[in-house]
Copies of this chain bind each other. A is one copy, B any other.
Amino acid sequence: MNRKIPAPSDFVVDADDIRSAADILRGHAILTPLLEYPVLNERMGGRVLIKFEGAQITGSFKFRGAYNRLARIPAEAKAAGVVAWSSGNHAQGVAAAARLLGLAATIVMPSDAPAIKMANTRALGAEIIAYDRFTESREKIATALAIARGATLVPSFDDPFIIAGQGTAGLEILDQARALGTGVDRIAVCCGGGGLVAGIATAVKSASPETEIYSVEPAAFDDTARSLASGHRETVSPDARSICDALLTPTPGELTFPINRALLSGGLSVTDDEVRATMRFAFEDLKLVMEPGGAVALAALLHKKLPRTDGVTAVIVSGANVDPGFYASILTEVG
């Protein structure tokens, strides 16, 4: 991996953008807890800090980027509203931010998205347009809609304000760890399009260059891991499947990948079975609900995918929107 730390100006987002996002989010986003469990420290032989974005508005980190993006829409563009596509968490983040800011939101969602994500998005007042994830292009549907209405398109990761908003979670981790009297040696972050990990890497590397950042993906969607290895953007097979519905992005983002290529220490991946075991562990020992995609960073830690676990490791639990029936089936499976 390339560990060179380039000047901030090399990228679309720098630490100042993330501090600005933190200012915009103050009083709107939740300062989610950074949790520590002796049982987990003991198991890993090091200190583990869990940033629990399940407690964020809409149950995932996505509100951060969405609110930061929507808050920047110029006055004259507000009336036409916003259009986004999303498997569910970005949908809810955009819908919640739009409601707070008084904007109309239309979200293009796959017809097989978790019911809880569709219901919550609708409950937040957004219009939902369903599409078939295997035969239709959400980008085309959403772009056509945005053009027809003059609405602002809100990408789920490839946007400087989205990346900066997600990066605020990284600032909080450093601040909260400092309040616990420690720095952070490494951070594991889930990765779909790479917006969260790019934002966190930008925030953290600026303030704490020696902290290592790792992306974690479902094994079948390891495009960022393979792209980090090859140096250019790889794409997963169209036949790839995973229970991690939030992380089914086939290729790294155009804006996120250059950041991640420069700043990450490695790309890790976990199997769906490792994710299931981690969701059960989180239920039994941490008492936290995690959705599959939200559990991958902790899964990587528990399954020893990180090169080291001594010192202090932070893991992001990025979301917890999971259908009760599916969650129940995971709890009662024989692990």
- Which of A51-59, A103-111, A187-195, A296-304 lines the interface with chain B? A51-59
A145 at the interface (CB under 8 A from B): no
A131 at the interface (CB under 8 A from B): no
A287 at the interface (CB under 8 A from B): yes
A130 at the interface (CB under 8 A from B): no
Instruction: Tell me, rounded to whole Å, the shortest Cβ–Cβ distance linking A32 to chain B.
Output: 9
Q: Is the CB of A320 within 8 A of B55?
A: no
Q: Is the CB of B37 within 8 A of A287?
A: no
Write out, one digit per residue, whether chain A residues 17-53 have a CB within 8 A of any chain B CB (1) or not (0): 0000000000000100101111100000000000010
A289 at the interface (CB under 8 A from B): yes
Chain A: interface residue total (CB-CB under 8 A): 30
Q: Is the CB of B327 within 8 A of A283?
A: yes
Q: Is the CB of A33 within 8 A of B35?
A: yes
Q: In the complex, A59 Cα to B283 Cα: how many Å?
A: 11
A332 at the interface (CB under 8 A from B): yes
A69 at the interface (CB under 8 A from B): no
Q: Is the CB of B36 within 8 A of A33?
A: no
Q: Is the CB of A287 within 8 A of B320?
A: yes
Q: In the complex, A182 Cα to B280 Cα: how many Å?
A: 36
Q: In the complex, A99 Cα to B289 Cα: how many Å?
A: 28
A254 at the interface (CB under 8 A from B): no
Q: Is the CB of A327 within 8 A of B320?
A: no
A243 at the interface (CB under 8 A from B): no
Which chain A residues numbered 305 to 335 have a C-beta less than 8 Å away from chain B? 320, 324-325, 327-329, 331-332
Q: In the complex, A269 Cα to B116 Cα: how many Å?
A: 30
Q: Is the CB of B286 within 8 A of A55?
A: yes
A10 at the interface (CB under 8 A from B): no
Which one of B30, B116, B287 contacts A59 once the chains associate, using CB atoms below 8 Å?
Answer: B287
Q: Which chain B residue has the least Cβ–Cβ distance from A317?
A: B287
A71 at the interface (CB under 8 A from B): no
User: Which chain B residues lie closer than 8 Å to A38 at the CB level?
Assistant: 30, 57
A210 at the interface (CB under 8 A from B): no
A284 at the interface (CB under 8 A from B): yes
A177 at the interface (CB under 8 A from B): no
Write out, one digit per residue, whether chain A residues 276-296 have a CB within 8 A of any chain B CB (1) or not (0): 000010011111111000000
User: Which chain B residues lie closer than 8 Å to A324 at the CB level?
Assistant: 280, 283-284, 331-332
Q: Which chain B residue has the least Cβ–Cβ distance from A54?
A: B287
Instruction: Tell me, rounded to whole Å, the shortest Cβ–Cβ distance linking A18 to chain B.
Output: 23
Q: In the complex, A288 Cα to B33 Cα: how many Å?
A: 13
* New contact pairs (9) apart from A33-B35, A283-B324, A287-B320, CB-CB < 8 Å: A39-B57, A52-B287, A55-B287, A116-B284, A283-B327, A287-B290, A324-B332, A325-B331, A328-B328
- Cβ contacts A to B, 27 pairs, < 8 Å: A30-B36, A30-B37, A33-B35, A35-B55, A37-B55, A52-B287, A54-B287, A55-B287, A59-B285, A59-B287, A116-B284, A280-B324, A283-B289, A284-B324, A287-B288, A287-B320, A288-B288, A288-B289, A289-B289, A324-B331, A325-B331, A325-B332, A327-B331, A328-B328, A328-B329, A328-B331, A328-B332
Across the A-B interface, the 8 shortest Cβ-Cβ residue pairs: A54-B287, A328-B328, A287-B320, A33-B33, A324-B331, A287-B289, A328-B331, A328-B332
